[in-house]
Amino acid sequence: MADVIKNRYEFVLLFDVENGNPNGDPDAGNMPRIDAETGLGLVTDVCLKRKIRNYVDIVKNGVEGYDIYVREGAILNAQHRRAYTAIGIEPNTKDKKLPADVQKAKEITDFMCHHFFDIRAFGAVMTTEVNCGQVRGPVQLNFARSIDPIVQQEVTITRMAVTSEKDAEKKDREMGRKHIIPYALYRVEGYISAHLAEKTGFSMDDLQLLWDALVNMFDHDRSAARGKMASRKLIIFEHESPLGNAPAHKLFDLVKVSRKDLGRPARSYEDYQVDLNSSALPAGVKIIEK
C-alpha cells in the first residue's frame, strides 16, 4: 500500500485525573490501580486502547475500513465469519485452522486488517474456532505510570432511593462507596513500527487518527467514576528511516517531568514542570508536539 507509514515513531503522552478513578482494579474492589512497591498509580495499556477504539468508533462511524473489532458486546466468531463470507469459503470449525490454501489464508487475515482499525493498529489473536490467524500490530503502549505516588481515597456517597419495597420499610436511602484520586499526572510511552505497519496496512491516515485519538479521547469518555481527565501533552519522535535512528529509551529520557517545589501536594497540571531536552536529540529524529 502506497500510503503505509514509512518511518518509525515513539511518543510520550501526559494525561491527568482530578477527583476520579482512571483505571479501577477489579481484584482490589475497583480501587485505582497502584504499584504496591512505589505507590505510583498505574493505568493499563488495555484501558488506554479502549479509549482510542471508542474515539475512532465515534469519528469514523460507518466509514469503510474503520470498524472496531474489540467492541462492547461483540462476538468475535461473528466478526471472523465476515472474512470467510467475503472470500466465499466456509471456516474449518472442526480443526480450528486457517485454510490450507496459503493465498486464501492470507486473504482472510488481510480482510480483517483492512476492515478493522484496531487490528490494523494493535494487532489481534484471532485463532478461535473460526480462525482468522494472528496479527502483530505496529502500535504498542506501555502501562501508564503516575509521576508521584497516588493517594487512593474511598468516599462515602448516599442515594435518596432504595432498591426494593422491603428496603423501604427499614430506610429511606442507601449508602455507597466511590474511589477517587484527588489528583495525579500520568505518563505513558508508546511505539509505532514501520516494519509491522507494512504487514497490517497501517497508513498515514491511520497515524493521524491515532494522534487525534490520543489528544481527544478523554473528552469522549466522560463518566462520574472517572472524574476530570485530560490529555495534557503529546510528544512525538519521528525517525527518518523505518528502522529508526536512535534507541527508544534514549528518546524517552529526553522528556523529564517533575513536580515543582510547592510545599504541598500537586493538585493541577501547572504544579509540574515538563522539560524536553531537544538539544540532545539524536541525528535523524524529529520532535512533534501536540
pLDDT digits (tens, 9 = 90+) for 235-290: 999 999 999 999 999 999 999 999 999 899 999 999 999 999 999 999 999 999 99
Reported as half-sphere exposure (CB side, CA atoms, 13 A), residue 273 has a value of 7
**In sequence order, which residues have a C-beta less than 8 Å from that of residue 90 and are 6 or more positions away?**
84
Q: What whole-number percentage of the chain has pLDDT above 70?
A: 99
Q: How far apart are CA 213 and CA 162, in angstroms?
A: 40
Give the pLDDT confidence of 163-212 residue by residue, as tens digits. 788 877 777 777 888 999 999 999 999 999 999 999 999 999 999 999 99
Per-residue model confidence (pLDDT) at position 225: 92
Q: How far apart are CA 26 and CA 48, in angstroms?
A: 17
Q: How far apart are CA 171 and CA 166, in angstroms?
A: 9
Domain positions in the chain are: 9-155+178-289
Report the amino acid identity of residue 220.
H
Do 151 and 181 form a contact (C-beta atoms < 8 A)? yes
Q: How far apart are CA 242 and CA 195, in angstroms?
A: 7
Q: How far apart are CA 232 and CA 185, in angstroms?
A: 9
Question: All 3 cell numbers of residue 2?
Answer: 502506497
Per-residue model confidence (pLDDT) at position 170: 79
